[in-house]
Structure formats: C-alpha cells, structure tokens
Amino acid sequence: MRVRTIATVMLAALLLSGCYETTDVVIHEPGIYKGAKDPLLAVDGTAGFEEKLSERFMEGQAPR
Amino acid sequence: MARMKFLCDAERCIECNGCVTACKNENEVPWGINRRRVVTLDDGLPGEKSISVACMHCTDAPCAAVCPVDCFYTTEDGVVLHDKDLCIGCGYCFYACPFGAPQYPQKEAFGVRGKMDKCTFCGGGPEPDNSAIEKKMYGANRLAQGKLPLCAEMCATKALLAGDGDMVADIYRERVLKRGGRPNSWGWETAYRKNV
C-alpha cells in the first residue's frame, strides 16, 4: 500500500514537472528594440553587399 | 551608404497590379492581406493616376515611434523591419502609418488582432536568413540573396523603383527632364522628409 502511494506521488510529481512554464519576460525599455538580432544586419551596409545591390538595380531597373 | 527607397512614377503606372501579384506570390501573403496595393486617384475621370503603395520604410518611422513594445528596428540601409515575436497586435502602428501599410492577418475572437504584417522590402525578419521559419513568418529575404524587392523588379513599365535612394532619384530626375512637366515623387516628402 505504502509503495503504491509513494509511486503515485512520484508519478504525479513527474507529470506536474512537465507543466512548467518559462516565466522569462522581455522587460520593456522605451525606444530600445529587444527582439532577436537579425543576421542581415551583420552584412547590411558592407561594401560588397551595397555593390551587389547596386549592380542588381542597374541590371533590372535602370533605363535600357 | 545606400538608403533604400521606393518610388512610384504615377506617369508610368498602368494599374496592372503586377507588383501586388509579385509581392503576394513571392512572400506567400495570405488571403485578405495585401502588403502592396495599387491606388487610383480620380478614378474614371480624365487624367486619372495610379500609384503603387506599400510601406515606404520611412526615415524616423512613425510606426516605430508609437509601438508600445518597440518591435521595430531599422537596418543600415534604412529598411524598417519588425519582430513578430514581440508584436502584440495593438494596432497603434496602423493608426500612425501615413500609408496604411500595417496589416493584421489573423482574425480572432472578440476582434483581437493578430501579429502585424507589412512590406519588408523583401528583407525578411530577425529569424535566420532564408530559413523556413523566416519564410513562413515574414516572407522572402531577397536582400540577403543580393536581390531587390520583386514588386519593383517585376514592374513592366518600370513605374515602381526600389533601391538606393540616390540611384532611384537620378533615374526619376532624368525621366522628368526628358518628358517635361513637374516631378511628383508621391509620398517621398512624407516618408523621407525634404532633406533626406
């Protein structure tokens, strides 16, 4: 009987541990972006990237 | 440093909606949502003009200024993007935007708005570039592939231009000089201010 009770309690504890919910929240500060960092920002503005986009613009949108 | 801008030449736009279709197809925008739309002024009257409108990626963007959770960020090239994980769908940006760009795709119970959706200048979002999750949440990331927005690249009459603002302005200036008349860079003063 005691073994069964202990086993039930342990099983309940195990099942309830699956109900854990993360409580981390993003604390707001006015005017500051706190989202994920966009990988595009690492290349954006570099000389190679700008050149590629300029070439693309001249290929597709410049008057022919 | 380039400053990405859109410009729609109203003298050239033939209201074909090719830009709208290209945008919807490339970004797999759901039904009922248009990141870009063609607006006709004085429809049916002599001298009617059409312009293609989407997020203009404003300098000092009003959407970012009013966002209560600061989900907007701006790239070095001036492209205004946002994080849907932070967006609470409050709708403030819709009221602040002079171009009516923000859209709310999800319709939930009691009129709750879903995450805001808007033109990304085909620059995706903060998820890993060209990943499946980025494609699903924000659409294509053509900028990371070295390409420009498809709406402008697909424009049959080259009415819609998208790229470095200086290059766009040079092309438009040349056109105006050639055809005469007054320049009408619709939305530029509102979006980029006079001296930007």
Q: What is the pLDDT of residues A9-27, one digit of tens each?
A: 999 888 887 777 777 777 7
Residue type, B55: C
Kindly determine whether residue A44 and residue B152, on different chains, have CB atoms separated by under 8 Å.
Answer: no
Distance between B54 CA and the closest CA of chain A, angstroms: 18
The 10 Å Cβ neighbour count of residue A52 is 16
Residue of B9, B70, B71, B176 for testing the chain A interface, max A β-carbons within 10 Å? B70
Query: Are B25 and B89 a contacting pair, CB within 8 Å?
Result: no
Query: Are B119 and B106 a contacting pair, CB within 8 Å?
Result: no
Distance between B127 CA and the closest CA of chain A, angstroms: 6
CB proximity B124 to A under 8 Å: yes
Looking at B62-138, list the stretches that DSSP marks H as alpha helix, in order from N- to C-terminal side. 62-66, 92-96, 132-138
Q: What is the pTM of this model?
A: 0.85
CB proximity B141 to A under 8 Å: yes
**Which residues in chain A are closer than 8 Å to B78, comparing Cβ atoms?**
none
The pLDDT, as a whole number, for residue B182 is 85
Kindly determine whether residue A45 and residue B75, on different chains, have CB atoms separated by under 8 Å.
Answer: yes
Q: Identify the residue whose tokens are 């409050």.
A: B90
* CATH class of the domain at B4-190: alpha beta
Count A/B contacts: CB-CB distance under 8 Å: 97
Q: Identify the residue whose tokens are 């109203």.
A: B10
Q: Identify the residue whose tokens are 């903060």.
A: B126
3-state secondary structure labels for all residues of A8-19: HHHHHHHHHHCC
CB proximity A48 to B under 8 Å: no
Residues 6+ apart with CB under 8 A from B17: B38
The pLDDT, as a whole number, for residue A10 is 92
Residues 6+ apart with CB under 8 A from B40: B15, B48, B49, B50
Domains of chain B, by residue range, sit at 4-190
d(CA B161, CA B32) in angstroms, rounded, equals 25
Query: What residues 75-114 of chain B have any CB closer than 8 A to a CB of chain A?
Result: 75-77, 79, 81, 83, 85-86
Q: What is the mean pLDDT of chain A?
A: 87
Nearest to A45 among B70, B76, B81 (CB): B76
Query: Are B146 and A49 a contacting pair, CB within 8 Å?
Result: yes
Output Rg (C-alpha) for chain B, integer angstroms: 17
The pLDDT, as a whole number, for residue B107 is 67
pLDDT interval class at A62 (50, 70, 90): confident
Q: Identify the residue whose tokens are 């009987």.
A: A1
**Which helix (DSSP H) or strand (DSSP E) does residue B174 occupy?**
helix B165-179
DSSP state of B157: T
Distance from chain centroid for Cα B92: 18
Residue B121 has which token pair?
A: 């200048």
Residue of B72, B74, B79, B83 for testing the chain A interface, max A β-carbons within 10 Å? B83
Q: Smallest Cα–Cα separation from B6: which of B193, B194, B192?
A: B192
Distance from chain centroid for Cα B40: 17
DSSP state of B145: G
The 10 Å Cβ neighbour count of residue A34 is 14
- Overall size of chain B counted in residues: 196
User: pLDDT tens per residue, chain B (196 residues)?
Assistant: 789 999 999 999 999 999 999 999 999 998 878 999 999 999 999 989 999 999 999 999 999 999 999 999 999 999 999 999 999 999 999 999 999 999 997 667 777 788 999 999 999 999 999 999 999 999 999 999 999 999 999 999 999 999 999 999 999 999 999 998 888 888 888 998 765 4
Residue of B115, B167, B173 for testing the chain A interface, max A β-carbons within 10 Å? B167
**Which residues in chain A are closer than 8 Å to B79, comparing Cβ atoms?**
44
